[in-house]
């Protein structure tokens, strides 16, 4: 079963804001060439999560893994994101959707951020 990965973030009108989000998607593709991956945004820029999901499904994905790039588990992660996931499930009932924990819930990321704070970004 082909899996598509959705890297999901808040969004911003500033085009440079998207660069780190797109860098995550690029790293995924570089590590596993041929992986279906798209960035998606809650607001202020495109594509939306449902639109990016539809694009991955059209490309052959039958399973979607949603990775929310939020540091905290605030309203967007607790309330807005589940509603968007339900919208995708309703529109594509044959597709399995896995919602990963937010990036900020990852012990590895928390440790990495502490390392950066202690040692700098280029160590």
pLDDT tens by residue, 39-51:
999 999 999 999 9
pLDDT tens by residue, 87-97:
999 999 999 99
At residue 57, the pLDDT reads: 98
Whether the per-residue pLDDT at 113 is higher than 60: the answer is: yes
pTM for the complete prediction?
0.92
| Stretch 17-25: mean pLDDT | 97
User: Is 62 buried (19+), middle (13-18) or exposed (0-12) by CB count in 10 A?
Assistant: middle
Helix (H, G, I), strand (E, B) or coil at 103: helix
Which residues fall within 8 angstroms of residue 95, CB to CB, at 6 or more apart?
53, 57, 61, 62, 63, 64, 88, 89
């Amino acid at each position: 079963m082909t899996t598509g990965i959705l890297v999901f973030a808040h969004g911003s009108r500033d085009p440079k804001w998207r660069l780190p989000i797109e860098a995550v998607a690029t790293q995924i593709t570089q590590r596993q060439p041929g992986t279906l991956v798209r960035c998606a945004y809650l607001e202020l820029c495109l594509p939306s999560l449902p639109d990016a999901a539809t694009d991955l499904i059209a490309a052959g994905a039958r399973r979607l893994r949603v990775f929310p790039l939020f540091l905290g588990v605030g309203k967007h992660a607790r309330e807005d994101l589940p509603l968007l996931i339900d919208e995708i499930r309703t529109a594509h009932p044959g597709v399995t959707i896995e919602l990963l924990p937010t990036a900020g819930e990852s012990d590895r990321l928390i440790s990495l951020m502490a390392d950066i704070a202690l040692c700098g970004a280029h160590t």
